[in-house]
Every structure is written in C-alpha cells, then in structure tokens.
Amino acid sequence: MASLSQAKTLGGVGSILGLLGIVPSVGPVLSIAGLIMALVAVKYISDILGDKRIFNNMIISVILAIGGLVVLVAFVFAAIARFIGVGNLFGASPSVPPTIPPSDIISLIAGLAIGLLAAWVLIIVSAVFLRMSYKSVAARLNVGLFSTAALLNLIGAALTIILIGFVLIFVAQILLVVAFFSLPDTPPMPPSGTAPASMTTTG
C-alpha cells in the first residue's frame, strides 16, 4: 500500500534527477526517469489524501508540457524545411538559390515565431495546472514549499521568453526537492472539532 514515506523518497529523488536534466548525454534520460518517479509520488499522495484532482492536474500539466515541446519542434522543422527544401534536410544536393527572396526569410521568421509562441502558451498553461496540483498538496499536508515552488515555476514559465525564466524554473525544482523531503510520514490530523475532508471521487 502506498505511503507518504514512499512518496517522499520517490518525489525527492525524482526531483533531484530532474535537476540533472542539464547534464550532457545522459541528462534527458535522467530527467525522464525523474519525471516518472515524481508522477508516482504525486499519485501516492493523491490516493492517500483521497483527492484525485491532485494527480489529474499533474497529468494534464505533463501532457501540456509535452505538447508544447512537440509543437515547437514541429514548427521549427516545418519552417526550416520550407526555407531550404525538404530534400536538403536529408542530404540531397543543395538547392538554395544564391539570392534568398525576402518573402522566404519572412516566412521562416514567422514560422519560428508562431512555434515559439504556441509552445510558450502551452508551457504557461501547463505550469498553471502544476500549481493547482502542488497547491492542493501544500494545503492538505502543511508543506508550504510545494506552493512556493509551483508559483516560482509559473513565473519562470511566463518569463522563459526572456530566458531568465529558465533560472527561476531551476530554482523551483530545487525547492521541490526540499518540499518532497519535508513531507510528513503520515497525513496531519484535522484540527479538533473539524470534520475530516471528504473523499473526492471526481476528476
């Protein structure tokens, strides 16, 4: 049976692996492994607290983040392929004319801009759902760092367009490590005279 102690370990270690995503070569693998561990930890917390919205919001956040990455890659690939020709991307002989028409340059810039904007919006919405999930965890388990980390992550997502946001997201990830390792081993008891929170069964 899932326990908060297991969630603490999985979430803490998973968040540390997420920080190692910047390591060359193995970074992406470590980051994916960390994400899976963090998802399992949130699932455990969601089940223990009887609040499915915690895990559902986290899943939506992950799907939106992946969607943002896919959209960005697709738009960048399409813009470059249209600019230099699909054949050139796969090793065909170069066919770029000596003089590039201004319309082609504008088309390339527009395609890249649209891709970046679409990905940026999806990442921000993803951060909103992440904050909803971690705010619930913070409120139910009295670990305020979850809410702080989620807010910082949201601000960072909004500021990624000027790059400083990536620094804030990295700091938020560090706070998540501390937050997970600060989880209690058992859910806190409700205040005296207060009825326990009802089980949430809807998504």
Q: Which residues of 105-116 are buried (b: 16+ CB within 10 A; e: fewer)?
A: eeebeebbeebb
pLDDT digits (tens, 9 = 90+) for 147-158: 999 999 999 999
Residue 202 near residue 169 (C-beta atoms within 8 A): no
Tokens describing residue 162: 């000027």
| C-alpha span between 131 and 12 (Å, rounded) | 17
Q: Which residues contact residue 29 at a Cβ distance below 8 angstroms, ignoring those fewer than 6 apart? A: none
pTM score, whole prediction: 0.81
pLDDT attached to residue 77: 83
Query: 177-198, pLDDT tens digit by residue?
Result: 999 999 998 888 765 544 444 4
Among residues 200, 193, 176, 203, the alpha carbon closest in space to that of 13 is found at 176
